[in-house]
Structure 1
Amino acid sequence: MFAGLPELGISNGEDLKETLTNCTEPLKAIDQFQMENGILLPTLQSALPFLDLHGTPRLEFHQSVFDELREKLMERVATIAEGKDEDRYIKLEELLEKSFPLVKMPSIQPIVMQVLKHLPKVPEKKLKQVMADKELYKVCSVEVKRQIWQDNQALFGDEVSPLLKQYIVEKEAALFSSDLSILHNFFSPSPKTRRQGEVVLKLTQMIGKNVKLYDMVLQFLRTLFLRTRNVHYCTLRAELLMSLHDLDVSEICSVDPCHKFSWCLDACIREKFVDAKRARELQGFLDGVKKGQEQVLGDLSMILCDPFACNTLVLSTVRNLQELLSQDALPRDSPDLLLLLRMLSLGQGAWDMIDSQVFKEPRMDLEVVTRFLPAVMSIVVDDYTFTVEQKLPSEEKTSLTYPTTLPETFSRYIQENRVACEIGLYYVLHIAKQRNKNALQRLLPALVDTYNDMAFGDIFLHLLTGHLTLLSDEFGSEEFCTAVFDNFLLTSFSSKENVHRHCLRLLNHLQQKVLASYMETVMKTLEPPKQVFYRKLTEFQNYEMHYLNAWPKRCVFNLDLNRKSVSEPRTLSGRLFQSLGAKCEKALPPLVDFAILGTIKSPAFCDLRERDGL
């Protein structure tokens, strides 16, 4: 408690103990100790007896004086640091030398930490002492930690790693949210709202204005992206840069070559559209990459690989195709469309570029422009033609039927080309948004075989299930259910757990709309094997039993005094069965499966536990 006082020539408790042990007159020794170590103010000595008369202990008086002086000193340190004196940091360093020996004294520690906080460069010896002591490291300010981290990448990685894991968990939780809506989906939050997330704010604070730490975080993100192929790391890379932009951290923004490109793209993401003016700006940045600076393409590709950027680019592409169709123009005649495809290609090739370390824009397949996009436009024309035909008077109608097959070029390119596949998937979302049942039934079977199984990725399935809520009434038709489930979703549910979970999300939302006979069939299909079911059920029950002792047994009061009161089930699953009752018997299996198959920590169940005081 009194460590460091002897180094400053100040007596401590051990000195007093030794004095009292060796003295013959303890009272005189105590008076002498107080005189030597008390407040050296002559006028104070005559005033102290008045405190004795009022019954105020000397300890209480000295403690109050000490607290006041400490606050004044800390304010003075801040004032010196914020001043303009050329020697202000010299003064702080001198104060640090005098106070640092007392850094482990709880009462003095805040002063030492205040001095450390305001020194732009803490002496290396002091930093090593702080880093070596876990307690000191824990209480020191982030300004001091930055100086430690910049020369200790492993320690910084230990601090950052939990935040990066938390970020990925939050993104995946959003994709598997039980709330299905076209208005409130994964891409609904604005860029500025996303940048207010806990992880982004913490990382921004940890980096401050330190370029070296910023580079470390970017290297962590590149490494994790390379190791996992998880595109959410690309999102964090873009969000981090724009968060620093919001705070006007010019020290970092001015040296990041991607800053202006990200700033322009961020505005496009906010509008969910790339207009002609911003398209020219983005093209200028890409064309401006000079020879010898090609490495910047790696970071640009990561920024374009961000799902939010990709979403904006593909939505703009679909909109551009519609405009070309209305103008009777071809895709190859649109510079804006070609730029969108160029950026999509660069973003889709991010992992390959970083993995190979060959920083060169991937060559775009011209046949995507000359063959695939015209095939997409022909599908759009089929829709328009059929729609117009249906609106004609009966005497003018022909025997035109809606086509059931797709152009061979369309099917081939969504299997072989990443960019084409992305555009094809978003076109499916576009027709679902238009509630175009016929086109959806025509296209969904083609998505069973796509490039790298992109159609069964979490982002697309999250969006598709949300868009399908617009067609909820159509699920009363066996034909439509067959198209959605048998011809698409159920083709891979057994090999892909995420598809299973998205199916359950959809059924949970549409259970009242799906054809009853079909619902029963789908539930049996989705039912896991018995050994898996019992293993998951056991895990779920063990999870509940962990809280069981904290859950008092309650009774449901009954007005019939001749009957015994009924004990309420003590587990979540038991109360779920009781509360739903027989009416929901048919709809219950998918809900229970949904709870058991990895979603025990879902918001719905968390709310249930919180309500019951767990």
Structure 2
Amino acid sequence: MSGSSVQGADFIRDALGSCGDPLEVIAHFQQDNRLESSILETVLPLLDLHDVLRSDIYDGICDQLREKLKSVISSLSEERLIQLLDASFPFADGPLRGIVLRLLEAPPDLPPHILNSVVENSKLYEACPVTVKRQVWEENVGLFGDEVRPLLDQYVEEKAALLLRIEDNPSSNFFTPSPKTRRQHEIIQTLTSYVGHSVKLYNTVLQFLRALFVDSGCVHFCTLRADVLMALHDLEIKIILDADPCHKFAWCLDACIREKFIDAKRGRELKLFLDGIKPPREQMRGDISMLLCDPFAVHTVASTAVKLLHELLEKEQLPRESAQVMLLLRLLQFGLNAQEMINCQDFSEKEMDLLCVKQFLPLLIELLLNRSISLFSNASSLVNNDNHLNESLVHLLPQRSLARVIAFQFTVKAVQERDKYLITTLLPAIAKGCDASDLRDDFLHQLILSLGQMGEEMTGNQEMLVSVFEHFLLKFVEEDKVVHFTHYLISRLYYKGDFSSHVTTLLEAFKPLEEHSAWTHEFYSHLVDKVTAPRKEKPLLSIPPPSVESSGSPLLEMLPMKSPSV
């Protein structure tokens, strides 16, 4: 009751503590605070005779008055609503809280002194509907950050888990869900409800995402930037869509991601937008680069580029002669430079990596040509040419993120098409030309899932096993995510063909290090239990060695079976 003229508990306590006749004090209090109603004065003595408590009577009257007031709030003027708010705020922590909350929600714009009063009362603030909190957040960015930051962190953690913990859902590729399905995520829906129609809050969310992306380099913040915008697009929040200059670009890119391909028409639309960025609007390139850094965008652009490279071989064209390929490279380069561009606030478009265009991409096409020739010929000249190609790829991969992304997607497509020649050529080259920090999580996710689906096509081919496990994965054995992915691949292939004869050696080679994560150690322990458990169909020790000749690989050399230590 503090802040009001109502005689509350403090007044009664003081009065009773200092009086000579408590009954007189009580009588005066009842007289001063009774309801002015002739009907009630007549009824009260009758109710007293029936032992009805006065508190029950007044509670019932208050309930009716509250409901009556709630029913007329919507018809009151904004000025009258503010007056009622000022009068009712002292009772916000009592039985009138429902009235106060309803009054707060009614006016479209609350005055600053009311918003400050809400902030000062933490319990009332927590109970306020989002429409009221939104007005508070527009004036208090710190409070908005406290509400939003846990959601942003949770979203990123969930995306990272989807990429890395593939054992939880081995049948689902990270890139399988459509963009609209992704946007139904509870966190996306919560963020859009927080933003509502507030351009100011939307821009604040974008500022948070830019800052977090620059600080962490986590590309999932770029996904969130695109998802929030397109979720508001689904809701047709026109005031925000008109305020974001990247809306049309994001809309077109979202359609491409949905189709998992960028056709010539949409490519021209994207190019037209990029070409239309002129001074003083260069800062737009920062947001465009974030949209293109989204793993779903990178996957779509890179997979389209790889498909077009296959077509260029049939057309006998060079990559630089294809306007569509050059546009895709431009889009990829935008996305890959996003963090540096925003961090340095240098929004100029970087020149295209000419070595990637003139040397690296033609090398990939030459690989495709050699693959085609190898299907019809066993010419020894191919071996020397393959060595030359391998050395050239290794030379061009370091320090060229554009070339690496194309090589990664090129390799994934080769695995999905069960192309032994390309798999055994590309994986060793990537291992030699890339550092562990260069390996993208989305590349490893697709690669390992696709390898696991090959089954006996992989386990029955010694050369492929050596290329995958020894020449590629073993190179990065100190990386936690690589070790975890390898354990998953071993578990997927364990019952395929004669692969079980290699398992003990592989488990020893890919035993987790002490600094590796708890979930990697846990999965490894489960895998060891699976390997050492007796098999009903065919005992593990009775599995015959592979019929193929030994490749001379020390890693996959046939060793006596023994239980690996955890």
TM-score range, shorter chain: 0.7 to 0.9
Task: Report what 1:282 is aligned to.
Answer: 270
Q: 1:326 to 1:13 in 2, by over 3 A?
A: same
Structure 2 residue matching 1:289: 3-state secondary structure: coil
Task: Report what 2:83 is aligned to.
Answer: 94
Unaligned runs of 5+ in 1: 82-87, 390-396, 541-572, 594-614
1:358-369 to structure 2, matched below 5 A, reads 358-369=346-357
Asked whether the equivalents of residues 92 and 115 of structure 1 are also in contact (C-alpha less than 8 Å), the reply is yes
Residue-by-residue CA offset, 1:241-282 (whole Å, 9 max, x unaligned): 111212222222111111111111111111111112211111
Task: Report what 2:440 is aligned to.
Answer: 457
Deviation at 1:201, TM superposition (A): 2.0
Q: Does 1:506 align with 2:489?
A: yes
Deviation at 1:453, TM superposition (A): 4.4
- Out of 70, 74, 90, the residue aligned to residue 74 of structure 1 is 70
Task: Report what 2:473 is aligned to.
Answer: 489
Asked whether the equivalents of residues 500 and 540 of structure 2 are also in contact (C-alpha less than 8 Å), the reply is no
Find the aligned partners of 1:460 and 1:424 in 2 and give their Cα distance: 10
Asked whether the equivalents of residues 301 and 350 of structure 1 are also in contact (C-alpha less than 8 Å), the reply is yes
Q: Does 1:427 align with 2:413?
A: no
Find the aligned partners of 1:589 and 1:282 in 2 and give their Cα distance: 57
Asked whether the equivalents of residues 321 and 331 of structure 1 are also in contact (C-alpha less than 8 Å), the reply is yes
- RMSD between aligned residues: 3.2
Task: Report what 1:543 is aligned to.
Answer: none
Find the aligned partners of 1:579 and 1:63 in 2 and give their Cα distance: 70
Asked whether the equivalents of residues 166 and 445 of structure 2 are also in contact (C-alpha less than 8 Å), the reply is no
Asked whether the equivalents of residues 262 and 301 of structure 2 are also in contact (C-alpha less than 8 Å), the reply is yes
- Out of 430, 454, 458, the residue aligned to residue 471 of structure 1 is 454
Asked whether the equivalents of residues 310 and 347 of structure 1 are also in contact (C-alpha less than 8 Å), the reply is yes
Asked whether the equivalents of residues 283 and 347 of structure 2 are also in contact (C-alpha less than 8 Å), the reply is yes
Deviation at 1:24, TM superposition (A): 4.2
Structure 2 residue matching 1:449: 3-state secondary structure: helix
- Out of 391, 407, 429, the residue aligned to residue 446 of structure 1 is 429
Find the aligned partners of 2:300 and 2:243 in 1 and give their Cα distance: 26
Residue-by-residue CA offset, 1:323-380 (whole Å, 9 max, x unaligned): 3333333322322222111111111111121122111111112343333222211211
Find the aligned partners of 1:52 and 1:201 in 2 and give their Cα distance: 55
Number of equivalences: 534
Q: Does 1:326 align with 2:331?
A: no
TM-score by length of 1: 0.79
Higher mean alpha-carbon deviation, 107-116 vs 125-134, is at 125-134
Find the aligned partners of 2:166 and 2:252 in 1 and give their Cα distance: 33
Deviation at 1:452, TM superposition (A): 5.6
Q: 1:239 to 1:3 in 2, by over 3 A?
A: same
1:131-280 to structure 2, matched below 5 A, reads 131-179=119-167, 184-280=172-268
Percent identity among equivalent residues?
37
Deviation at 1:454, TM superposition (A): 6.1
Asked whether the equivalents of residues 200 and 239 of structure 1 are also in contact (C-alpha less than 8 Å), the reply is yes
Find the aligned partners of 1:589 and 1:76 in 2 and give their Cα distance: 77
Q: What amino acid does structure 1 have at the position aligned with 2:453?
A: L
Q: What amino acid does structure 1 have at the position aligned with 2:400?
A: N
1:54-133 to structure 2, matched below 5 A, reads 56-77=52-73, 79-80=74-75, 88-105=77-94, 107-133=95-121
Q: 1:80 to 1:286 in 2, by over 3 A?
A: farther
Q: 1:276 to 1:287 in 2, by over 3 A?
A: same
Deviation at 1:499, TM superposition (A): 1.1
Task: Report what 1:549 is aligned to.
Answer: none
Q: Does 1:518 align with 2:514?
A: no
Deviation at 1:312, TM superposition (A): 0.6
Unaligned runs of 5+ in 2: 542-560
Deviation at 1:501, TM superposition (A): 1.3
Task: Report what 1:10 is aligned to.
Answer: 6
Find the aligned partners of 2:416 and 2:51 in 1 and give their Cα distance: 80
Higher mean alpha-carbon deviation, 375-384 vs 276-285, is at 375-384
Deviation at 1:486, TM superposition (A): 0.4
TM-score by length of 2: 0.85
Q: 1:577 to 1:527 in 2, by over 3 A?
A: closer
Q: 1:269 to 1:536 in 2, by over 3 A?
A: closer
Q: 1:581 to 1:321 in 2, by over 3 A?
A: closer
Deviation at 1:100, TM superposition (A): 1.4
Q: 1:251 to 1:197 in 2, by over 3 A?
A: same
Find the aligned partners of 2:233 and 2:54 in 1 and give their Cα distance: 54
Residue-by-residue CA offset, 1:368-424 (whole Å, 9 max, x unaligned): 33332222112112223333x2xxxxxxx7657975535254333333422121111
Find the aligned partners of 1:31 and 1:186 in 2 and give their Cα distance: 74
1:312-461 to structure 2, matched below 5 A, reads 312-387=300-375, 389=376, 403=383, 404-405=386-387, 407=389, 408-450=391-433, 453=436, 456-461=439-444
Deviation at 1:191, TM superposition (A): 1.1
Higher mean alpha-carbon deviation, 48-57 vs 497-506, is at 48-57
